Amino acid sequence: MMQLNFEDVQEERVERALKNINKKPSVKKATKIYVDAGFAWKSNIGNERKVGRVAYKSGRGKFHMRTVTVPEIEGLRQYGNLFELIAVMAAMEKTNAKNVLMITDSKVAMGWAKRKINDLGQFSEQHFKVKERIDKAKEKFTNFDIKWVPRDENIVGVWLENKFK
């Protein structure tokens, strides 16, 4: 039988601790929050304010939805991405969970929530305002991660789609 001395045990503990420092939240232990947004481009043509719906489902299983309006942004074609980002922000601000796994079917919103917007395509002052609120909301979490899933695996996306058929 191999014997460990005190220094070996301490070194092993340090190695384990270092491995855990940058660990992402455990999917099993994290509160999963599904988010999605809907934007009907045709019904918003010519409107000064664009109307979309943002929705999320908390760990308690309740679906939440609200209608959101944003001013028309000159040159912006992808309002859907902005509404997806607003959905992430709304869910983050509402939850009291400390260990959160946000789940979205928008790769753009996921990327923007994780990184700086200015390197990631078309954006506006509205995007920056929402991103600023997301970054502030992240501070209240012990662990936060956001992951992408295909549309048919996003239960809020399916719910929102069926609600407005």
Q: What is the pLDDT of residues 18-35, one digit of tens each?
A: 554 445 555 558 899 999
148 domain-assigned: yes
At 160, the pLDDT band (50, 70, 90 cuts) reads confident
35 domain-assigned: yes
Q: What is the pLDDT of residues 90-147, one digit of tens each?
A: 999 999 999 999 999 999 888 888 876 655 456 677 888 888 899 999 999 999 999 9
At 62, the pLDDT band (50, 70, 90 cuts) reads confident
Tokens coding 149 = 């899933």
Task: Burial-class residue 84 by CB neighbours within 10 Å (0-12, 13-18, 19+).
Answer: buried
At 1, the pLDDT band (50, 70, 90 cuts) reads very low
Number of domains in the chain: 1
Q: Are 56 and 90 in contact (CB under 8 A)?
A: yes
16 domain-assigned: no
Backbone phi, psi, residue 42, to 5°: -60, -40
Find where tokens 């939805």 sit. 65
Q: Are 83 and 127 in contact (CB under 8 A)?
A: no
Boundaries of domain holding 108: 27-163
4 domain-assigned: no
Tokens coding 138 = 């992240």
The CA distance from 31 to 161, in Å, is 23
Tokens coding 77 = 């074609």
Q: Are 141 and 72 in contact (CB under 8 A)?
A: no
CATH number at residue 145: 3.30.420.10
20 domain-assigned: no
Mean of the per-residue pLDDT values of the chain: 78
At 7, the pLDDT band (50, 70, 90 cuts) reads low
14 domain-assigned: no
Q: At what angle do helices 79-94 and 107-114 cross, to 10 degrees?
A: 60
